[in-house]
Amino acid sequence: MTNKLIEFKKEKLENLKYSGKREWYFAENFGGLCIRVLKTKKTYYAHWSISKIKNGKIVRVVIKKKIGDYDLPLAEVKAIARQMFQHQAT
């Protein structure tokens, strides 16, 4: 699995290709948004982390929640992500 930081613009997202393994691309221009690229599809996700205590130490646990498939408009994906983060904060 490869993690990459890219600018989320429609042109760049369209050019993302499957490289033989699942890849995650994280938005550098919109915190908490990422896209997973598989052989047959691309899917948008929101991601964040929470702190937990494990064996007396604080560890960060990453959570990813599916927003929708690549056919959703990018503006709509960002709006859904904002709503998810607002609900997460309350």
pLDDT in tens, 39-72: 999 999 999 999 999 999 999 999 999 999 999 9
Q: Look at residues 56, 50, 53, 59 and name the one whose alpha carbon lies nearest to residue 32.
A: 50
| Ranges of each domain in the chain | 2-89
pLDDT band, very low/low/confident/very high, at 78 (cuts 50, 70, 90): very high
d(CA 41, CA 82): 23
CA angle 32, 67, 76 (to 5 degrees): 85
Its pTM stands at 0.85
The fraction of the chain above a pLDDT of 90, given in percent, is 81
Of residues 88 and 20, the one with the higher pLDDT is: 20
Give yes or no for a contact between 62 and 52, defined as CB atoms under 8 angstroms apart: no
- Spelled out in words, what is the top-level CATH class assigned to the domain 2-89? alpha beta
- The pLDDT tens digits of the residues spanning 21-31 come to 999 999 999 98
